[in-house]
Amino acid sequence: MDLILRDARLPGDAATSVDIGIEDGKIAAIATDLAAEGETLDVAGRLVTPGFVETHIHLDKSCILDRCSDQGGDITGAIAEVARAKGSFTPEDVYARGRRTVEKCILQGTTHMRTQLEVDPVVGLRGFEGVLQLVDDYRWAIDIEICVFPQEGLLNNPGTEELMVEAMRRGARVVGGAPYTDSDPHGQIDRVFAIAREFDADIDMHLDLSNDPTTLDLDYVCELAERYGRGGRTAIGHVTKLAYAEPGTFADAARRLADSGVALTVLPSTDLFLMGRDQACGQSRGVTHAHRLLGYGVNCSLSTNNVLNPFTPFGDCSLVRMANLNANICHVGAAHDVVECFNMVTTRAARLMNIDGYGLEAGMSADLAVLDCDSPYAAVSELAPVLYAFKRGRRTMTRPAAQIHRPA
């Protein structure tokens, strides 16, 4: 074997210690007392999990707080502030800031990422070019796929669709959207599905980001996903309107998503930061309740979204922290539900992105993280740090376990 992780605990079984043999970048065998030779790392009974999966993050506009003035905090203000900052983005600048964010993700055990990427006539393809270089340069640690989208509208912003198509030709793999900023939201959704069909690409749109659930664009997205056979390949993010929906409306939407195979990503930090600002007291959380959707059979993920920008002026890129944050916001405490928070940043997130070769079984890619705990429940409830990560069997980071220094 190229590498053997000894004395590991797997996510489904905290009681049994196993060894994981890795060869040619893949998991070759998992067994108790594995008879194998090779470089060995004793993980001392700690949790080994498939790497974390960031389904929705914005590398191109991360780390721009120092050049933004209005930090008033609502959605319109954040979009306007980033729109102003984008004018001076260069590929080199995007690369330098994106690199800082990608390296934080690697240090948190993230091995797969879908990054949202803005194009429009102001920024052109400069953001795309900076991130495309990051994709290449960090392939040794993380698989990054680009989802190109029109943050400031598509039909109202001539030239944007041509740029989206050009980005798809040059390596973007997913088509995104933000219909709530468009003069014709359904028209934008039509165009997003058309581009996705042209390039046989998955879809991942920002959707239904407000506190008014009286109309939901998700109905139209589900309708098109069914019409064009895109179930399992369409995801939507935010959908904060469902945090404000009456139980009947919520149930109808959940069944619609489940039936059409449309997955949903909750972005707890951003939604918590942006929503509820119009209320003088008892401010709402504005975070859609993922666990209730899981109960209807909808697949969900949790993700970071924005890092150190006007949409979210925080960010350590820890998906364990995001899972814990979600548990806090949504009153999640039962062990099974806490574990679902972990699944939504690992296995469920991988399923949303249709990642091949993901999982803890022989034959799967050796994309792994070792946490300083023995179970997913402990990871989320105690915010366990990541001590090692591996990409295709090669170690990509190490964080020494904390020690207490007692008096002699």
Q: How far is the CB of 116 from Zn ion (least distance, A)?
A: 5
As measured in angstroms, the least distance from the Cβ of 149 to Zn ion is 8
DSSP 8-state assignment for residue 305: B
By C-beta, is 79 or 125 nearer to Zn ion?
79
Q: How far is the CB of 247 from Zn ion (least distance, A)?
A: 27
CB 219, min distance to Zn ion, A: 21
CA distance 19 to 45: 10
Q: Which is nearer to Zn ion, 240 or 305 (CB)?
A: 305
CB of 57 to Zn ion, least distance (A): 8
Rg, C-alpha atoms of the chain: 21
Q: Which is nearer to Zn ion, 116 or 288 (CB)?
A: 116
Residue with tokens 């951003």: 270
The smaller minimum CB distance to Zn ion, of residues 271 and 340, is found at 271
Question: What tokens does 47 get?
Answer: 């949790």
Q: What is the 3-state secondary structure (H, E, C) of 184-209?
A: CHHHHHHHHHHHHHHHCCEEEEEECC
Task: Find out whether 180 and 199 touch, Cβ atoms under 8 Å.
Answer: no
Of 152 and 372, CB closest to Zn ion: 152
Q: How far is the CB of 82 from Zn ion (least distance, A)?
A: 11
Residues 279-308 that bind Zn ion (CB under 5 A): 305
For residue 365, the SS3 value is strand
Toward Zn ion, which CB reaches closer, 60 or 161? 60
How far apart, in Å, are the Cα atoms of 243 and each of 36, 221, 274, 279, 329?
Answer: 51, 18, 13, 15, 11
Q: How many CB atoms lie within 10 A of CB 42?
A: 12
Instruction: Give the nearest distance from C-beta 151 to Zn ion in angstroms.
Output: 9
CB atoms within 10 A of CB 4: 21
Q: Which is nearer to Zn ion, 116 or 346 (CB)?
A: 116
x-or-dash string of contact with Zn ion, 222-261, rule CB under 5 A: ----------------------------------------
Total of chain residues touching Zn ion, rule CB under 5 A: 2
End-to-end CA distance of the chain: 42
Contact status, residue 147 vs residue 116, Cβ threshold 8 Å? yes
CB of 234 to Zn ion, least distance (A): 16
Shortest Cβ 316–Zn ion spacing (Å):
18
Binders in 67-126 for Zn ion, by CB under 5 A? 116
Reported residue count of the chain is 408
Closest among 168, 2, 150 to 83, alpha carbons compared? 150
Strands 40-50 and 368-371: antiparallel
For 233-263, give one letter per residue: b (16+ CB within 10 A) or e. Answer: bbbbbbbbbbbbbeeeebeebbebbbebbbb
Instruction: Please check whether residue 332 is in contact with residue 24, taking contact to mean a CB–CB distance below 8 angstroms.
Output: no
Nearest approach, Cβ of residue 136 and Zn ion (Å): 23
Whichever of 101 and 116 has its CB closer to Zn ion, that residue is 116
> At its nearest, how many Å lie between Zn ion and the CB of residue 267?
6
The token duo for 251 is 């149930």
Q: What is the DSSP letter of 384?
A: P
Q: Pick between residue 116 and residue 188 the one whose CB is nearest to Zn ion.
A: 116
Query: For Zn ion, what does the binding mask look like between residues 156 and 195, x meaning CB under 5 A?
Result: ----------------------------------------
Dig out the tokens for 230 from the structure.
């895109």
In terms of CB distance, is 5 or 307 closer to Zn ion? 307
SS3 of residue 18 by DSSP: strand
Which of 108, 305 has the CB closer to Zn ion? 305
Beta-bridge partners for 203 = 175, 234
The residues binding Zn ion (CB under 5 A) are 116, 305
